[in-house]
A and B are shown apart, each in its own frame.
Chain A
Amino acid sequence: SQQGEEDPQALSIQEGENATMNCSYKTSINNLQWYRQNSGRGLVHLILIRSNEREKHSGRLRVTLDTSKKSSSLLITASRAADTASYFCATGNTGTASKLTFGTGTRLQVTL
């Protein structure tokens, strides 16, 4: 079963705009990871945030985590057409390599 849901399910923006995706989950977690998937291919790891962290940055990506609300957000700044993909959040519930429980994904379309 899915751990949670991404919101919105689909998002369409123009190049240069910022894109924000939200993820909610149901149970306590050790870490949360964001992935990108292009056209049904493999998932690309974007960023990992641990439960004791509130915010992380990587290039144009900013991730926040609010464990009290069981939610996370992914912000992509200055979006590019190449950012068009599906984005998934995945939660891990232990401090070791464990199963990841994925959300339902957000489909992002960036137009020129």
Chain B
Amino acid sequence: DAGVTQSPTHLIKTRGQQVTLRCSPKSGHDTVSWYQQALGQGPQFIFQYYEEEERQRGNFPDRFSGHQFPNYSSELNVNALLLGDSALYLCASSLGLEQFFGPGTRLTVL
């Protein structure tokens, strides 16, 4: 049984560009959450998707948007990238209370 998978592993972009990150949840999980983890910090909640709708959102600007597909996979889009968006982006899937994380996508904005 595959766990949570994310792609790509690493990504380098320049300021002002747009990026799309992808996540496939653990088999049977219907809820996907996205987190941003800056270096040396704990993860910060971006938003959560359930039944293809955004159910909760953290304190992130509208430049951060997402989508969930009928197969429960999800995308995170970030527009107009800033240097401060450089971070590890983590996807987590869940069916109940426990959230299981993928390996993350390391985004570097130059």
B100's closest neighbor in chain A, by CB? A45
Cβ of A2 within 8 Å of any chain B Cβ, yes or no, is yes
Taking CB atoms, residues of chain A closer than 8 Å to B4 are 42
Cβ of B99 within 8 Å of any chain A Cβ, yes or no, is yes
Distance to closest chain B CB from A83 (angstroms) = 18
Cβ of A60 within 8 Å of any chain B Cβ, yes or no, is no
- CB < 8 Å: which of B33, B39, B96, B104 contacts A99? B33
Taking CB atoms, residues of chain A closer than 8 Å to B90 are 42-43
Taking CB atoms, residues of chain B closer than 8 Å to A81 are none
- From known contacts A42-B102, A42-B104, infer whether A98 and B41 are also in contact, taking CB-CB under 8 Å: no
Q: Is the CB of B101 within 8 A of A45?
A: yes
Interface flags, A17-47, vs B, CB<8A=1, else 0: 0000000000000110101000011111100
Determine the distance from Cα of A97 to Cα of B48 in the docked complex, in whole angstroms.
9
Distance to closest chain A CB from B28 (angstroms) = 13
- CB < 8 Å: which of A31, A45, A104 contacts B41? A104
Determine the distance from Cα of A44 to Cα of B41 in the docked complex, in whole angstroms.
16
- The 17 listed contacts between A and B (C-beta, < 8 Å) are A30-B97, A35-B101, A40-B88, A40-B106, A42-B103, A42-B104, A48-B98, A88-B43, A90-B43, A92-B97, A97-B48, A97-B50, A97-B94, A98-B48, A98-B56, A103-B42, A104-B41
